[in-house]
């Protein structure tokens, strides 16, 4: 499998996903096919094919999928659905290699580091961390997935400590850690992860707020019991089970208040930087772009389920429907225009600080808090 691994690593390196030769060595030390399901749903990382794979029915297609930059769903609907069907909600996967190595490079693992991983999944990332010289404790909330991952890791020759438990609690019996690596998205970063990491240690995780796209977050634990750091690019992961939410808008909008806007919803949803500014101002607002009948729409709802809005793209003028005590589109538009007034700062201008009392978003400097 050396040639396939080299081809994959070459493509990832050219794409700027990693630079460290140690990561290339780890990819060779941990053959990805050992952690791939016999059947699953393949999705390219970014635009590209999405289809079922089956090692027995189409071995050539299976091998090509396993050694390309795409994720493979290994569990659907928490085990109740068919992972190869592409229909039920994906609840665990073998993550895309490009995303995995990008996070590993941000974590900057050194031999001898003690690493806490949240979300074992198949065990592939835990094995890569071990191959990089770390002592790994990995926590998986699904006991069935934890058992399968443990068996696969042993078979592959790796020995991280696998715990079936709630990842929000961390692993206090194995702390302190030099770093935390989360393979599931979080909106509210559990403070336990900060508490269990030594000063100077690093947390890398997909920050997945209620509104907009996800972000890579790289935080460093400080001596005052906090963790702070910048955002470092986009990320799209399955959300931690304890923090799952559903954005729902009624199909029947006849009772909603209808209006017009000249602010294009596609423009509002077109920047990671705007996403951060909006979620900082409106942390309790869920929002995501949709395509309905080939037309872009922005759907919004508050987490209290009291209000919702839909904005449909038009030509010059766009239609807005809002219902409930809040006017969510008006609030989002105000937050977006505040970002425009700042000069449209990019995603990397923003950062997070997590403390025992709260989590805040800042711009340019940790002292410049922009959270509501």
The pair of structure tokens assigned to 155 is: 């078979």
Return the SS3 of 20: coil
pLDDT number for residue 249: 86
Residues whose CB falls within 8 Å of the CB of residue 299, separated by 6 or more in sequence, listed in order: 247, 249, 287, 288, 289, 290, 308, 309, 310
Q: Which residue has the higher pLDDT, 321 or 18?
A: 321
pLDDT above 80: residue 4: yes
The model's pLDDT over 264-316, given as tens digits with 9 standing for 90+, comes to 999 999 999 999 999 999 999 999 998 888 888 999 999 999 999 999 999 88
The pair of structure tokens assigned to 80 is: 């109740």
Question: Average pLDDT for residues 329-345, to the nearest whole number?
Answer: 98
Percent of the chain at pLDDT exceeding 70: 100
The confidence band for 154, taking pLDDT boundaries of 50, 70 and 90, is very high
Tell the residue number behind the tokens 């602010």, with chain if given. 263
- Quick check: bond before 216 cis, omega within 30? no
pLDDT above 80: residue 47: no
For the question of residue 95 being annotated catalytic, the response is yes
Residues whose CB falls within 8 Å of the CB of residue 94, separated by 6 or more in sequence, listed in order: 32, 35, 36, 37, 40, 71, 72, 74, 121, 122, 124
Strand 161-164 to 135-140 pairing: parallel
Residues whose CB falls within 8 Å of the CB of residue 27, separated by 6 or more in sequence, listed in order: 5, 8, 9, 97, 101, 128
Question: Average pLDDT for residues 83-97, to the nearest whole number?
Answer: 91
Question: Average pLDDT for residues 20-40, to the nearest whole number?
Answer: 96
For residues 234, 334, 186 and 112, what is the CA-based torsion angle, rounded to 10 degrees?
50
Question: Average pLDDT for residues 80-92, to the nearest whole number?
Answer: 90
The confidence band for 45, taking pLDDT boundaries of 50, 70 and 90, is confident
The model's pLDDT over 101-118, given as tens digits with 9 standing for 90+, comes to 999 999 999 999 999 999
The confidence band for 88, taking pLDDT boundaries of 50, 70 and 90, is confident
Domains located in the chain, CATH noted: 98-243+346-372 (3.40.50.150), 257-341 (3.30.160)
The model's pLDDT over 184-212, given as tens digits with 9 standing for 90+, comes to 999 999 999 999 999 999 999 999 999 99
Average pLDDT, the chain: 95
pLDDT above 80: residue 334: yes
pLDDT above 90: residue 252: no
pLDDT above 90: residue 228: yes
CA dist 289 and 281 (Å) reads 19
Return the SS3 of 82: coil
Q: Which residue has the higher pLDDT, 370 or 44?
A: 370
pLDDT number for residue 251: 84
Where helices occur in the chain by DSSP H, the ranges are 2-14, 21-29, 59-66, 97-107, 124-131, 143-156, 191-195, 265-268, 272-281, 328-341
- Top mean-pLDDT range of 5-14, 151-160, 236-245, 286-295: 151-160
Which of 95, 96, 228, 271 is labelled catalytic? 95
pLDDT above 90: residue 178: yes
Residue 200 has phi, psi (to 5 degrees) of: 90, -15
pLDDT above 80: residue 1: no
Which sign, positive or negative, has the C-alpha torsion 21, 26, 29, 35? negative
> Where is 205: in which H helix or E strand?
strand 197-207
CA dist 244 and 6 (Å) reads 37
Whether residue 23 contacts residue 107, with contact meaning beta carbons closer than 8 Å, is answered with no
What's the Cα-to-Cα distance from 251 to each of 48, 211, 300, 309, 310, rounded to whole Å?
30, 21, 13, 12, 10
CA dist 92 and 41 (Å) reads 11
The pair of structure tokens assigned to 236 is: 């799209």
pLDDT number for residue 48: 79
């Amino acid at each position: 499998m050396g040639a396939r691994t080299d081809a994959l690593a070459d493509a990832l390196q050219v794409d700027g996903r990693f630079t460290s030769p140690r990561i290339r060595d780890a990819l060779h030390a941990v053959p990805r096919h050992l952690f791939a399901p016999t059947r699953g749903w393949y999705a390219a990382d970014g635009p590209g094919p999405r289809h079922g794979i089956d090692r027995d029915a189409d071995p050539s297609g299976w091998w090509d999928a396993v050694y390309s930059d795409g994720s493979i769903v290994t569990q659907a609907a928490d085990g109740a659905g068919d992972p190869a069907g592409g229909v039920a909600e994906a609840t665990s996967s073998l993550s895309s290699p490009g995303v995995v190595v990008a996070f590993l490079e941000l974590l900057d693992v050194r031999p001898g580091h003690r690493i806490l991983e949240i979300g074992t999944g198949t065990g592939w990332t835990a094995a890569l961390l071990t191959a990089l010289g770390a002592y790994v404790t990995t926590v998986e909330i699904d006991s069935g997935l934890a058992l399968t991952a443990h068996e696969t890791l042993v078979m592959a020759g790796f020995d991280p400590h696998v715990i079936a438990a709630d990842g929000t609690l961390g692993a206090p019996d194995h702390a302190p850690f030099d770093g935390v690596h989360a393979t599931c998205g979080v909106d509210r970063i559990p403070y336990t992860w900060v508490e269990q990491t030594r000063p100077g240690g690093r947390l890398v995780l997909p920050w997945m707020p209620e509104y907009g796209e996800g972000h890579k977050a790289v935080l460093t634990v400080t001596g005052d019991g906090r963790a702070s750091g910048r955002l470092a690019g986009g990320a799209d992961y399955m959300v931690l089970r304890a923090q799952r939410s559903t954005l729902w808008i009624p199909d029947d909008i006849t009772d909603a208040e209808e209006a017009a806007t000249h602010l294009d919803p596609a423009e509002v949803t077109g920047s990671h930087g705007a996403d951060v500014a909006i979620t900082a101002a409106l942390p309790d607002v869920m929002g995501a772009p949709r395509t309905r009948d080939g037309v872009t729409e922005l759907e919004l709802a508050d987490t209290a389920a009291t209000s919702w809005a839909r904005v449909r793209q038009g030509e010059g003028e766009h239609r807005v429907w809002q219902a409930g005590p809040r006017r969510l589109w008006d609030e989002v538009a105000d937050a977006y225009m505040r970002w425009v007034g700042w000069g449209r700062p990019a995603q990397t201008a923003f950062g997070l600080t997590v403390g025992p009392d709260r989590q805040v978003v800042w711009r340019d400097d940790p002292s410049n808090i922009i959270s509501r």
